[in-house]
């Protein structure tokens, strides 16, 4: 009889044959299930089917295979007299090594057209039970969930005859992370299914608020589980003395977590934060658009007929701040745009695609990071912010303007050109830190006031930056005007139209001021605070 027993049941068979041969050469018995046992037998590797150990066949179409005391007793027993006496009494042999990775639930739900029944049948039960049991008993049992660990385990067995405690503990921690990740995929999937059910139940219901409440209820469970997979360690966080890493959210496909870096140095913590700000804004536009971000605020934004023109106008908006900035583009980058981009120092350029000629131009700049992101990926529904001892979860601000809900509150109606410009300004101001004011003309930002402690202060910054170009421009504000002073400042600078949420107890004062100056003002009824 072999000196040791290993239980092997894996969906990912990478490196399995070599590992199993190594165990057999060291006089280990391999117990296995279903497809894993067949793979080993076909490779000519001795294997004991699990039903020979349990004395019980697989039942319920394979749903029950390893859930048996002769398996879990062998895994969970402490190697001391009382437990060993019980194993002997029940004719149970100890299991010293558990090699398990789980049913491919993530891969299953990622397939196009997968049914709920298929997804559910790929929820592993016996696998996580064995993994968790072995990980709990790491003092005596080695658990391996990652094929990349096979070599280290074999090397230890060959050199020492055992796996050292420190490695067993490390592998146990990895195993619990594996099952936690797996459970997160399942949790996310079922919550999405609940949201779908809530939406279906509300179909035909004209009360959209009720539908929204149903969907929201399914998105905020009593226990919120968040799991991520490390993309990379970062050189440091916001400052050199802070450690940091980048994780992609499990269960979410696309976005920056799935972005491809085509060139340049590794991304930094601040790069990634700014990248999200830039990419989030540029996706708002249907026409070719460019956004330049510094410290999470757009210092230049423009929309034009071509991508090159959009970038040139975004740069023209604030060329001083653009130096060392992050540029986001919503169209594939062509050679002409690449040539313009290469003329100044930029930290990062992000776009859906870079044409080969554009890559050739930009790759001559050694340090600039080139990032390709699929713009058609699923929308993010929730965002998370941490506080000391906890975190906050909210829906992403994805509300859009509905023309029928816009209210012209002044005597003068906007001209067709002003209407288009007001909509542009509103898209931009949504992405500026509160208190936020933006001044735009011809679908180009002229001045941005961000993050000030009072609204009129933001307005003065934006108008000062716009200078003489402010004459004939429009102003956007992310929240209402608490006083008429912002309207007064706008009028002195030559602003002709304002878009803001409304809702202040002093709205009438602002309206009267706008009427006195001949400014048209539109209320959206929507606030876009961004903290």
Distance CA 447, CA 458 (A): 10
Q: What are the C-alpha distances in Å from 285 to residues 282, 424, 427?
A: 6, 9, 8
Distance CA 405, CA 401 (A): 8
Catalytic residue, candidates 211, 263, 265, 295: 295
Taking Cα atoms as reference points, which of 474, 378, 369, 495 lies closest to residue 419? 474
The SS3 assignment for 455 reads helix
- What does the block give as tokens for 466? 């716009």
Geometric angle at alpha carbon 88, from 82 and 89, rounded to 5°: 90
- What does the block give as tokens for 474? 């429009």
Contact 102, 128 (CB under 8 A): yes
Tokens 């004719």 sit on residue: 91
Query: What are residue 520's DSSP bridge partners?
Result: 497
| Residue 234 neighbours by CB under 8 Å, 6+ apart | 244, 245, 246, 266, 267, 268, 269, 272
Whether 295 is catalytic is yes
| Residue 78 neighbours by CB under 8 Å, 6+ apart | 137, 139, 140
Distance CA 29, CA 97 (A): 10
Tokens 């006083």 sit on residue: 483
Which value, in Å, is the radius of gyration of the alpha carbons in the chain?
A: 30
The SS3 assignment for 421 reads helix
Using CA atoms of 30, 11, 118, 198 in order, give the dihedral in degrees to the nearest 10.
110
Catalytic residue, candidates 136, 211, 263, 283: 136
Whether 313 is catalytic is no
- What does the block give as tokens for 393? 């979860």
Query: Catalytic amino acids?
Result: 136, 295
């Amino acid at each position: 009889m072999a000196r040791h027993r290993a239980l092997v049941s894996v969906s990912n068979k990478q490196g399995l044959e070599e590992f199993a041969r190594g165990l057999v050469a060291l006089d280990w018995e391999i117990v296995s299930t279903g497809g894993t046992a067949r793979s080993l037998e076909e490779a000519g590797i001795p294997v004991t089917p699990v039903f020979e150990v349990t004395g019980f066949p697989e039942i319920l179409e394979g749903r029950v295979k390893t859930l048996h005391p002769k398996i879990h007793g062998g895994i969970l027993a402490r190697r001391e007299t009382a437990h060993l006496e019980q194993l002997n009494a029940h004719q149970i042999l100890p299991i010293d090594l558990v090699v398990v990775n789980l049913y491919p639930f993530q891969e299953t739900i990622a397939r196009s057209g997968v049914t709920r029944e298929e997804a559910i049948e790929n929820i592993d039960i016996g696998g996580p039970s064995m993994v968790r049991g072995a990980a709990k008993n790491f003092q005596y049992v080695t658990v391996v969930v990652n094929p990349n660990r096979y070599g280290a385990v074999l090397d230890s067995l060959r050199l020492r005859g055992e796996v050292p405690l420190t490695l067993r503990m490390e592998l146990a921690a990895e195993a619990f992370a594996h099952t936690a990740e797996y459970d997160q995929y399942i949790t996310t999937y079922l919550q999405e299914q609940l949201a779908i059910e809530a939406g279906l139940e509300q179909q035909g219901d004209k009360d959209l608020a009720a539908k929204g409440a149903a969907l929201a209820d399914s998105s905020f469970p009593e226990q919120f589980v968040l799991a991520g997979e490390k993309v990379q360690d970062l050189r440091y966080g916001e400052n050199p003395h802070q450690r940091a890493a980048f994780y992609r959210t499990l269960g979410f496909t696309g976005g920056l977590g799935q972005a491809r870096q085509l060139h340049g140095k590794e991304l930094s913590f601040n790069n990634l934060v700014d990248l999200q700000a830039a990419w989030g804004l540029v996706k708002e536009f249907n026409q070719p658009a460019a956004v330049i971000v510094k410290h999470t605020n757009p210092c230049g934004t423009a929309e034009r007929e071509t991508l090159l023109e959009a970038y040139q106008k975004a740069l023209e908006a604030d060329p001083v701040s653009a130096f060392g900035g992050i540029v986001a583009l919503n169209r594939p980058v062509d050679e002409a745009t690449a040539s313009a981009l290469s003329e100044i120092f930029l930290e990062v350029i992000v776009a859906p695609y870079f044409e080969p000629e554009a890559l050739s131009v930009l790759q001559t700049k050694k340090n600039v990071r080139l990032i390709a992101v699929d713009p058609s990926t699923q929308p993010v529904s929730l965002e998370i912010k941490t506080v000391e001892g906890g975190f906050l979860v909210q829906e992403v601000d994805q509300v859009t303007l509905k023309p029928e809900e816009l209210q012209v509150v002044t005597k003068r109606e906007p001209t067709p050109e002003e209407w288009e410009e007001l909509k542009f300004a509103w898209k931009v101001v949504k992405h500026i830190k509160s208190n936020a004011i933006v001044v735009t003309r011809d679908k180009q930002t002229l001045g941005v006031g961000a993050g000030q402690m009072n609204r009129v202060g933001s307005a003065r910054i934006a108008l000062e930056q716009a200078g003489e170009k402010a004459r004939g421009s429009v102003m956007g504000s992310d929240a209402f005007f608490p006083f008429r002073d912002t309207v007064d400042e706008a009028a002195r600078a030559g602003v002709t139209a304002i878009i803001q949420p409304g809702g202040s107890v002093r709205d009438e004062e602002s309206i009267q001021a706008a009427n006195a100056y001949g400014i048209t003002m539109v209320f959206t009824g929507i606030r876009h605070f961004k903290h």
